[in-house]
Structure 1
């Protein structure tokens, strides 16, 4: 049974992502060819909120698969400080579901004037970004009914995967992307990965992940804040011992985001300290086995969104009307 718009949006993601992959196939092939010819010296990522979490995913993905240095921009540099960066030879990826936020638009305009090759991933293909970027990758998600981003984030990650596989010519990754609609459907019907009793009475927690799992951890922490009003901080498990480990002495709860990729064993090594301290630990495990490690994070998020929507209502909140949040957050 589906009780919330957030859950309904999430469960529809596989349908829209199948359409996205098919409808964007020739466009992505053309952009991938263009990127290979352009051979960017580095990639700059622009996004806010869930889109910024997608940017963290993109950083790991592009550096792992394409070997090109990638970093997240500070949009205020253009919108507030009025500065122009030296971006000649750069590719700029602008990630914005709405394409409406003034600081994102300012950053896109700055990137264009600075001579970068810019690509936007957005649902609003006729919005302001249309005239500021070289190419647009439409997300094709239809209307997202809920306020908090779910299927738009999954579609954004799909677009990043599809672009990267085309750019690098990685046929294994291309096949993995093609399998995403099926994988998301399977994750939808997988057993719950998070339960309300694990979050009852919790007001502060830490979410740990490593690599692509860290990008997921950031999104998990954001949703805990948005729809459950739980203060959550996402930390790379590699950084946890540098300060945050002191929180363990305060019996703070930790959520562990576990992705079975090349970082898995290193991540487990960092968790050993928590186990020795008998820290309250909640595992968000990879919900499906035998899937490509670059698409596994999407399956985990698909299941998490469904779980957290239910938990939000069980905690007495409304995930469809989170306090202080609107569909388009216009940051200057």
Structure 2
């Protein structure tokens, strides 16, 4: 490889986005048996509730798992505040609690410390990482490897979708399911990623944007948060993610007839719950771009139609793909390098 090729802006991120169908296939073919085995062992211990611990992109994957656990298992689930144990020294009683820590690197000191504290407090601990040799994997009772392979671009792409699929298969395993809803995802993901030219055309809308609002509901809400994070860390455009319900409780006032809004509209109950929000946004004349089904896209200013017939609980794995591409394309259009956003490091060592 020449020096010129090595320094093409966005080359690494583009390659890692393109790997996602293969990563999803690897998880289904190689990772699923181990995930089912771990899930069965934990299910036999019947944890009464679940706590999820993560930072950054992995925090959005953890939020997705929270929806899965509450909807599919009917168990209460929450996102932890790590500082309660790492900074304040709180000692909660976590007997019969499952604590799932999600981390691409498994190296952040506060994740390791809070997981160790949870295990000392009686919790069943599970680490979900892309590094089975990480400190986090070592301090956890159980570990799931998301099998994404080395990720070199600073914006996480393939590790995020790998975390989503691994978490879905794990929750399915807890209830004795076979994860059949995920079987077509590798091929569907390849089809979505092949439509990059459509996303490049959408990106022109945001080349000079000063801010963005991104909204969704249900399983799509973690996608809204992850899309906002990707756009902010690559393009530097302030992007505010809102649950559709929260958007109606005040922030809608900042949306006017020139405000760019991206709505992720799941095909199912989440999309139905978002419909009143879409109606209000159209009523305010917002520049509304929809990521969803064809009929929703056609009713908006523009958008990207997702494959039909995908079960709602796994749609998030496809929804984020055009938004990753959008972050990439807008960044390139603005003359920046998405491989190396300013002031970011691959492993963020929070304490």
**Normalising by the residue count of structure 2, what TM-score does the alignment of the two structures yield?**
0.90
CA RMSD of aligned residues (A): 1.8
**Aligned counterparts, 1:133-144, within 5 A:** 133-144=140-151
Partner SS, residue 227 of structure 1:
helix
Structure 1 equivalent of residue 335 of structure 2? 316
Structure 2 equivalent of residue 243 of structure 1? 250
Contact 2:85 2:114 survives alignment (8 Å)? yes
Matched, 1:187 2:192: yes
Structure 2 equivalent of residue 300 of structure 1? 319
String of CA shifts for 1:254-295, please: whole Å, max 9, x gaps: 111111121211201122111111122122225211212122
Contact 1:4 1:309 survives alignment (8 Å)? no
Matched, 1:126 2:133: yes
Q: Which of 166, 174, 188 is residue 159 of structure 1 equivalent to?
A: 166
Structure 1 unaligned regions, length at least 5: none
**Aligned counterparts, 1:75-224, within 5 A:** 75-171=82-178, 174-190=179-195, 192-193=198-199, 195-224=202-231
- Greater shift in the superposed pair: 235-244 or 306-315: 306-315
String of CA shifts for 1:281-317, please: whole Å, max 9, x gaps: 1222252112121222111212221232122111111
How much has 1:67 moved relative to structure 2?
0.7
Partner SS, residue 163 of structure 1:
helix
Matched, 1:69 2:79: no
**Aligned counterparts, 1:34-49, within 5 A:** 34-49=41-56
Partner SS, residue 242 of structure 2:
strand
Alpha-carbon separation, structure 1, partners of 2:349 and 2:47: 30
Alpha-carbon separation, structure 2, partners of 1:307 and 1:270: 23
Alpha-carbon separation, structure 2, partners of 1:7 and 1:289: 25
Runs of 4+ in 1 over 4 A off after TM superposition: none
Structure 2 unaligned regions, length at least 5: 1-7, 294-305
Partner SS, residue 195 of structure 2:
coil
Partner SS, residue 126 of structure 2:
strand
Matched, 1:232 2:239: yes
Number of residue-to-residue matches in the alignment: 330
Alpha-carbon separation, structure 2, partners of 1:127 and 1:266: 40
Matched, 1:277 2:284: yes
Partner SS, residue 165 of structure 1:
helix
Partner SS, residue 294 of structure 1:
helix
How much has 1:193 moved relative to structure 2?
4.3
Contact 1:187 1:300 survives alignment (8 Å)? no
How much has 1:88 moved relative to structure 2?
0.9
Alpha-carbon separation, structure 2, partners of 1:161 and 1:2: 33
